[in-house]
Each structure stands twice: as structure tokens, then as C-alpha cells.
A and B are shown apart, each in its own frame.
Chain A
Amino acid sequence: MCELLIFAKNNTHLDSEKDRRGCYKRGMPVVVFEDGHTWGREESKQQWIAEGNPAADWPGQGRFVLLKLPGVPAAKAQALLDHQTEDDAGTPLLNPDGSPITFRRRRWQLSVDSTPLAVRNTLDSTGEYTTTVSAIRNYMKRLRDNAQFTGLD
């Protein structure tokens, strides 16, 4: 089982290149850890509550949600953290030394707003949602062309 920290809002920057390349957008995975990871209180609403804080005051509300995927090793989900190093036409972007150039922070994104209302309500109220690969497959998309992520299969 792995747990994914997902960014839940759209950060923006006045510089359009920085906005595209550097800003986190809604649904982008931030980090992934194995099951049982101890999240920070600003990452996990349940951690915040467990430390005796009022749920209504969670500073991560609207900023983060956690997606829990039983049976999926964190190594399999690691690819969800890849930067998009190709343009939107799919052409790889490379520095003269051959190292990749980041076009976007992430190549993949959870289409949060396309998930069923019940899922969104659970994420909103508890800050996390436990699901399966088959249930999430349709909502994990490549940003440039909406292709499905199959790396969890």
C-alpha cells in the first residue's frame, strides 16, 4: 500500500513560464510514501486531528489531500512524480548536456474534479480517500494529452 500526497489547488505566477513550469496545479502528486508513513500536520488532516487540533482549523484544507492505494508499492507510484520533460506535442526537451528540461512540475495529474461526488466529499471532509487501482485508473491522466496512467497496473 502506498500513500500519495496530492496538491489540491491551483497555484499561479504572473510569469507565464514559471506558472507552467514551476507552480503546482490541482491534482498534481507531490510525494509518495509506503503505507504507514507519518505525515506532517499540514499534509494530513487526520494527523492534525490526532494531535488534538480542531478539524475546522486544519491549515492544509483546500491545499492537500491524501490518496491511499492498498496493495500498490510506493516504487510503482514513483513515476507519478516525474516532471513533464517533453512539450505538449510530446517532443523531449533536453539541455545541451543531455539532461532533461522541465516543462511542467509533473507529467501526471489526478483529475480531482472528475471523480464522483462522494469521493470529493470524503476528500473534503476527511482530507483522504482510500481506493483501488481499478477505481482510480480513469482519473490519473497525463497532462499533455489526457492519456491514462497505467504504471500502477
Chain B
Amino acid sequence: MADTVKTVKSSGGDYSSLSGWEAGQQKVISAGDTEQAECYSFSDTTQLVIDGWTTAVDAYIRIYTPGTERHDGKWNTSKYRLETTASNSILEDYTRIEGLQVSINASATFRYAVNFVGAANNADGNLIDGCIVKNLSAQTDQEGIRIIGASVQNTVRNCLVYDFNTTGSVGISASMASNTSRMDNCTVYNCTLGYDTGYLDTIIRNCLADSCTDGFAGVSNFETGSSNNASSLASDAPGTSSRNSQTFTFVDATNRDLHLTSSDAGARDYGIDLSATFTTDIDGVTRSGTWDIGADEYVAAAGGGPVLMPQILL
């Protein structure tokens, strides 16, 4: 068993772009091995396509940022960013993407920031966790995270997706029959359609939609087992224990700091505990107590000890 870790850096790394890494490491991954790209702070502008590999559940691809290089839950220009004008596509099974920032600024319609292309092209068993995905394009029909393909199961978790707000645009989607994907603890903000699924197969839990035209499109299509979702709109969030017409209180929504504040009454402590599957939030912070809905788990700012009053000696 071997984990091959290559660094992607603007200087001093094994590769200077994720695309270069993908070309250089493209291979048949042996059972028990992994191929990992560790991404450091810079703007990576070359389209990423993962294709032509052989992977398996115990022989997977991992693209991630180490702790010091990871965003802090808000778009951070001093951390690694994949900033492209074309769709970034994953056509391989068992690819994990963790802690990245991805933006798309397409000049054409129907472009996707992170596109898992399934069915005959595979892309099954993938995970995208703790990523920030945003749209900069004025084109119609853009999507943030898209899972397309029948009979695939991919997981979107702890992701923040925003500004896919042109006609036909979607924050996170999973479509085609028997697409048994999971969407857990995500936040979608200012999108035309927040979450969208076309078939009765996708389970969505603890997901938050705010300032969207339609937060959860095709509500009746989300699978039994969906629960604890929240929306700013009426009659929107699917599943049991879900909350509608909520007002969410973020740190600075205008500047897309969508961390919950201590005064939030829409999402804080209304989630279901999913710790059997994962335990952290978009910041990499361990979720504790009653879980919050959305990508962020509210954590009180670290305080000092008790305040000591100066002693006046007479």
C-alpha cells in the first residue's frame, strides 16, 4: 500500500497546476494505493479534467488542501483557488475533492464548476467535501456542483455554493434515474435553483437554501430519508423535520461570509446528527452538540478566561 502525494504550488512544488498533476500522474492505481494532489495557495486557471485513469474503492484519487492552505469557510484569495472559464469534469470513480475553492467564469451556456459525469462514463463513488464554489459568469444555465448520470452515488458534503443566479442556473444538482447521491450539510445562497434533482433517488439532509428563486427544486423528487433541511422560502424544503420561511443570520452575507452568527434562529441547532458518516464542517471544525443546518457549524469565538479587574491598593 502506498499513498503517492504530489504538491501543486506556484513555485517549489512537484507541479505548477492541478492539470499538470493530472497528466503526470494519470495511471492505473493499484489496489490499496492512492494518488493525492496537495494544493497550496495560488490561483490555478487551467481547466481540470480527470479521465483515463483506473480507480477502485481502495485505489482512489484525492485532491485536497492541507490545513494551512485551506480556506476558512469564506472565499480566501490567499489560499488555493481553481479559477477557470471552462467546466471542470470528473469522469473517474472514487475521486475525493476536499477543501478547495472553485470559481467558474464561463463565456458560454451550460458550464459547470464541478461536473461529475456519471453513467457510462463512470464517476461513481465520488466525494466533494468542504469546498466553496462560486459563479462569476453572466451566462445562463451555469451549475456549481453537478452530478449527472444514472445509477451513480456521489456525495456532496459541507459545501458552500453561491451566485449561480442567472436563468436556468443551479447550485447543486443530481439527475438521472437511480442517481442515489447524497447532499449533506450544504449551504446554497443566491441561486436560481438551489438544489435540484429530477428523480426520486437523491437523499438530502441538513441543507440550507437562502435567497434563491427556488431553494429546493422538484421537492417531491427528493428521496425518503431526506430531512432537516431549511429554506428562506415557504413550502420549499423537502423531507421530515424541515423548516421553511426561515430567516438566517450570517456574519456578512453581502460579502459572502455565510458563517452562522450566535443570533441565528433559522439553522442553528436544527440539524440531524450525521456523525455516523462525518463529524466536521466546512471549516474543518468538529461538529458538536445539536448539529446546525448548512455547511457551517456555529462555534463561539474562543474567549479568554474570566476578566480580571485591576486591583487598587490603598
Q: Interface of A with B (CB < 8 Å)?
A: 5, 7, 11, 13-14, 18-19, 21-24, 30-31, 33, 37-43, 60, 63-64, 81, 83, 95, 97-99, 102, 105
A43 touches B52 (CB 8 A): no
Given the interface contacts A42-B6, A99-B110, A99-B111, does A31 sit within 8 Å of B52 by beta carbon?
no
A33 partner residues in chain B, CB cutoff 8 A: 16
Q: How far is the CB of B79 from chain A (nearest CB, A)?
A: 19
Q: B49–A42 contact, CB under 8 A?
A: no
B10 touches A42 (CB 8 A): no
With the chains together, A105 CA to B54 CA distance in Å? Answer: 16
Docked complex Cα distance between A30 and B24 (Å):
9
Which residues of chain A have C-beta atoms less than 8 A from B23's C-beta? 5, 7, 24, 30, 64
Contact B20 A40 (CB under 8 A): yes
**Known contacts being A23-B26, A81-B46, A98-B109, is A39 close to B16, with CB within 8 Å?**
yes
In the complex, residue of chain A having the shortest beta-carbon distance to the beta carbon of B115 = A99
Q: Which residue of A lies closest to B18 (CB)?
A: A31
Known: A38-B16, A40-B9, A40-B16. A105 touches B24 (CB 8 A): no
Q: Which of B28, B52, B54 contacts A24 (CB 8 A)?
A: B52
Q: Report whether A105 and B51 are in contact in the complex, using a CB–CB cutoff of 8 Å.
A: yes
| Chain A contact residues: helix, strand, loop or mixed | loop
Q: Which residue of B lies closest to A95 (CB)?
A: B110
Q: How far is the CB of B149 from chain A (nearest CB, A)?
A: 12
* B52 nearest in chain A by CB position: A22
- Over the window 1-35 of chain B, the binary record of Cβ atoms lying under 8 Å from chain A Cβ atoms (1 yes, 0 no) is 00000111111111111011001101110000000
Bound CA–CA A124/B108 (angstroms): 40
8 contacts between A and B (CB under 8 A): A11-B27, A11-B52, A13-B53, A22-B91, A38-B11, A40-B9, A40-B13, A98-B109
Between A30, A83, A105, the greatest number of chain B beta carbons within 10 A of the residue's beta carbon is seen for: A30
